[in-house]
Structures are given as C-alpha cells and as structure tokens.
Amino acid sequence: MVFKIKKNKNYMVMSNYHLRDKNLSLKAKGLLSFMLSLPENWNYSLSGLIASIL
C-alpha cells in the first residue's frame, strides 16, 4: 500500500512505506517514487513514462 501525502510545486512528501519494503528492488523503489511525483492525470503507460524523462 502506498500513500501520497502532500504535493506542492516541485516538492512532495510521501510515506516511507514503499521505501522500506524489502520485497521491492532499489530500481522498483526509485521508479515508484518517480511515478508518485508525477501529476495525478499523467499517462502512466510505458510511452508516457519515457516521455517524462526525455
């Protein structure tokens, strides 16, 4: 379970829950943290995520 707490312009506070999950790899934790930082209406498909980093 992941809880986003508060998001402001260029700043976000999120729970440490997913960061402390020993079942997730560091890559998965980084990707999830990045995805949580995107706007709620973002295109979360593979092409949408690629577009966000280019």
- What's the maximum distance between 2 C-alpha atoms anywhere in the chain? 31
Q: How many CB atoms lie within 10 A of CB 3?
A: 10
* DSSP 8-state class, residue 1: -
How far is the C-alpha of 27 from the C-alpha of 41, rounded, in Å?
Answer: 23
Give residue 12's pLDDT.
76
Give residue 30's pLDDT.
92
For the stretch 2-42, pLDDT in tens is 666 666 677 777 888 889 999 999 999 999 988 888 888 88
Give residue 1's pLDDT.
64
Which sequence spans correspond to the domains of the chain?
A: 4-53
Give residue 21's pLDDT.
93
Give residue 23's pLDDT.
96
> Quick one: how far is CA 30 from the chain centroid?
7
